[in-house]
Amino acid sequence: MLKIKKFRHAAIVVNDLETMLEFYVETLGFVLKRKFEIESDDFRKGVGMPDAKAKVAHLSLPDSDIEIEIFEYKDKLQASEKINRPNYPGYRHIAFIVKDLDESYRELKEKGLRFYSEPITIKEPEMIAGFRFVYFNDPEGNIIELNQLPDGKG
């Protein structure tokens, strides 16, 4: 049986790498680890696109193993509007734990971010009671969730 050792990263394909880097670094506090362009035969073969060329950035969160890989492909495809809905099949959002959800919400709201709702506290089912969350979008519409875990739950 396959044994996965560790989660490595999530990848986001974007239309404007520089705008997204500014958002993830300046607004969310990620650190730029490396930035490069790639169009090698190995890359093209690996992604199954014979003419692939992309700008790539690797970002990390300080004091964690969380990484995001951001691609801006030369040949861009436009996403369907429904892909940005939380209930569309497939990978839908990335989630980050914050210490104080209300403070994080206020800070990001002051920076002009729009949220799906105010922070929500789950009351039931009992096994997740006290879990808090809120959804918002990055500049290109990707859904981000902030979580505050109940005391003593991580």
Q: Tell me, what's the pLDDT at 66? A: 86
Quickly count: other Cβ atoms within 10 Å of residue 81's Cβ. Answer: 9
pLDDT digits (tens, 9 = 90+) for 67-97: 999 999 998 777 666 666 766 766 789 999 9
Look at residue 79 in the predicted model and tell me its pLDDT. 67
User: What mean pLDDT do residues 21-38 have?
Assistant: 97
DSSP bridge partners of 73: 54
**Does residue 47 register a pLDDT over 60?**
yes
Q: pLDDT, tens digit, for every residue of 89-143?
A: 667 899 999 999 999 999 999 999 999 999 999 999 888 999 999 999 999 989 9
N-term to C-term CA, the chain: 29
Phi, psi values for residue 143, rounded to 5°: -85, 130
Give the list of residues 6+ apart from residue 129 with CB closer than 8 angstroms, or none.
122, 123, 150
Tell whether domain 1-80 is in CATH 3.20.20.20: no
- CATH 3.10.180.10 domain position(s) in the chain: 1-80, 92-154
User: Half-sphere exposure (CA, 13 Å, Cβ side) for 25?
Assistant: 16
Alpha carbon distance 2, 19 (integer Å): 38
The more confidently predicted of residues 2 and 64 is 64
Report the top-level CATH class of 92-154.
alpha beta
